[in-house]
């Protein structure tokens, strides 16, 4: 089974670690590179603002996305060095880094891909998995620097582990899985002397240009912008947050904490899915219905307003492209006083499907366009509650992950809100959460996880769930 979780859960076998870094020539080219006309995507720009705000806090506000897999035998370092270099040159998101301006915007700078070169930087033996994890995570520079990524090998007695760790600025969940497949394909081509070149890919810079052009043409009167502003205004002018107190003061930056636990086994997930379909939805509708009930028990109101990330790869060439191809869409539906799981499933499914109509329109752009008359009170650098669903069973090449012990992991970063991922594996479904490391948030998350387990278990066993009398505040 593919491993999926947080970097703290990665348990690499100890051994001789070799990692690569940019050559002096490459760093000189980075420093001399001119501005590029295409700005970052709206999602990237907000992410960079948070990172810049945290730059002197002592906390890493950005998140790292890592892949690792193990191959038999001894590694050919020169082949892997060429593979890592070709990977960076092939995906044009890695040409870019972003320089902050006085107005809070960021300007892209980009280098020629032929100027990208790597060389071995560190070679050291490790006897402890925790020390390897710490080294891999700490060695990646800030997201405000160009080389916010790292590659390396860990040699064992009769095998070796390959890892790649990339700041979220340049990748996403789909991109992590694609990176594993792409690195193996590139390695095969390099090792064979060019006998098996991978197919071409489109670039992330062109995607950013397309996204920016679409959003730049919108005005406050444009229907998708009006829809976003209506939702925000109904929510007190703010993006959605968790309804319980998480112990985070205004403007504070808090280290994130993480929890991962099994929510339900696959037999239970299949029964849960059957109930969802009988009620007029799918597994996704059931997930958001369950989340709405759990949040209602924590202090939510008479409607559910959530955000979920969706994949925005839109061309054939982007299907294999590495980059942050994602946008947040709303999932909004009412919650009646007598709501049950099956009564909410069709509403939640329709809300999830309908939210995708806003996939090309960034909520960041809607907030930018809001005037005083719209009553929007969400500042720059905002964070919002998020719920993501990944069916790991459907990841392209997932069978290969089993053969090579492959896995995908992420770091905690800072967290002012509750971020939730439900990952469905062939044998179990796991719930992973990142939340502020405060006593209030720990207590709130404990209640949230317990309620989610209770809902999924009850639906799988009995086909229904309703809030207990007196559960609502």
Each residue of 317-375: pLDDT tens digit?
A: 999 999 999 999 999 999 998 999 999 999 999 999 999 999 999 999 999 999 999 99
Give the pLDDT confidence of 382-392 residue by residue, as tens digits: 889 999 998 88
51-61: average pLDDT: 75
pLDDT tens, 289-317?
999 999 999 988 899 999 999 999 999 99
Confidence of residue 394 (pLDDT cuts 50, 70, 90): confident
Return all residues near 469 (Cβ < 8 A) that are at least 6 apart.
Answer: none
Query: CB under 8 Å to 41, separation ≥6 — which residues?
Result: 207, 208, 211, 212, 324, 362
Give yes or no for residue 1 having a pLDDT over 80. no
Which comes out higher in pLDDT, residue 470 or 415?
415
Torsion from C-alpha of 192, 149, 77, 397, nearest 10 degrees? -40
- % of the chain with per-residue pLDDT over 70: 97
Question: Comparing 398 with 323, which gets the higher pLDDT?
Answer: 323
Phi, psi angle pair for 119, to nearest 5° = -145, 150
Mean pLDDT across the chain: 93
CB atoms within 10 A of CB 382: 18
Give yes or no for residue 400 having a pLDDT over 90: no
Higher pLDDT, 219 or 56: 219
> d(Cα 75, Cα 398) in Å, to the nearest integer?
23
């Amino acid at each position: 089974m593919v491993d999926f979780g947080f970097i703290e859960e990665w348990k690499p076998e100890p051994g001789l670690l070799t990692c690569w870094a940019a050559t002096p020539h490459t760093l000189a080219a980075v420093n001399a590179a001119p501005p590029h006309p295409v700005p970052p995507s709206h999602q990237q720009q907000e992410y960079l603002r948070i990172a810049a705000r945290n730059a002197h806090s002592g906390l890493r506000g950005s998140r790292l996305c890592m892949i690792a897999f193990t191959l038999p035998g001894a590694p050919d370092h020169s082949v892997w060095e060429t593979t890592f270099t070709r990977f960076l040159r092939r995906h044009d998101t890695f040409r870019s880094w972003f320089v902050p301006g006085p107005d809070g915007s960021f300007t892209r700078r980009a280098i020629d891909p032929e100027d990208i070169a790597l060389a071995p930087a560190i070679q050291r033996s490790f006897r402890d998995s925790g020390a390897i994890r710490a080294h891999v995570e700490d060695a990646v520079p800030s997201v405000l620097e160009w080389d916010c990524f790292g590659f390396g090998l860990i040699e064992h007695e009769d095998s070796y582990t390959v890892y790649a760790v990339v700041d979220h600025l340049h990748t996403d969940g789909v991109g992590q899985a694609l990176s594993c497949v792409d690195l193996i394909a590139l390695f095969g081509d390099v090792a064979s002397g060019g006998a098996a070149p991978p197919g071409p890919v489109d670039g992330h810079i062109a995607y950013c240009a397309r996204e920016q052009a679409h959003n730049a043409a919108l005005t406050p009167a444009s229907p998708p912008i009006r829809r976003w502003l209506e939702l925000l205004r109904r929510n007190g002018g703010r993006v959605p947050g968790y309804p319980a107190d998480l112990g985070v003061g205004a403007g504070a930056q808090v280290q994130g904490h993480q929890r991962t636990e099994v929510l339900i086994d696959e037999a239970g997930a299949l029964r849960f899915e059957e109930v969802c379909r009988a009620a007029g939805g799918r597994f996704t509708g059931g997930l958001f219905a369950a989340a709405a009930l759990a949040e209602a028990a924590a202090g939510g109101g008479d409607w559910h307003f959530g955000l979920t990330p969706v994949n925005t790869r839109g061309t054939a060439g982007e299907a294999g492209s590495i980059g942050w191809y994602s946008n947040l869409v709303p999932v909004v539906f009412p919650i009646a006083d007598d709501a049950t799981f099956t009564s909410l499933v069709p509403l939640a499914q329709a809300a999830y499907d309908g939210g995708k109509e806003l996939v090309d329109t960034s909520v960041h752009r809607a907030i930018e366009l809001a005037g005083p008359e719209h009553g929007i009170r969400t500042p720059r650098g905002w964070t919002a509650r998020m719920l993501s669903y990944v069916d790991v069973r459907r990841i392209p090449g997932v069978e290969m992950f089993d053969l090579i012990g492959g896995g995908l992991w992420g770091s905690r970063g800072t967290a002012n809100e509750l971020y939730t991922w439900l990952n469905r594996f062939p044998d179990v479904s796991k719930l992973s959460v990142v939340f502020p490391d405060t006593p209030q948030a720990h207590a709130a998350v404990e209640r949230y996880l317990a309620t989610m387990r209770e809902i999924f278990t009850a639906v799988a066993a009995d086909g229904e769930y309703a809030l207990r009398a007196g559960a609502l505040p």
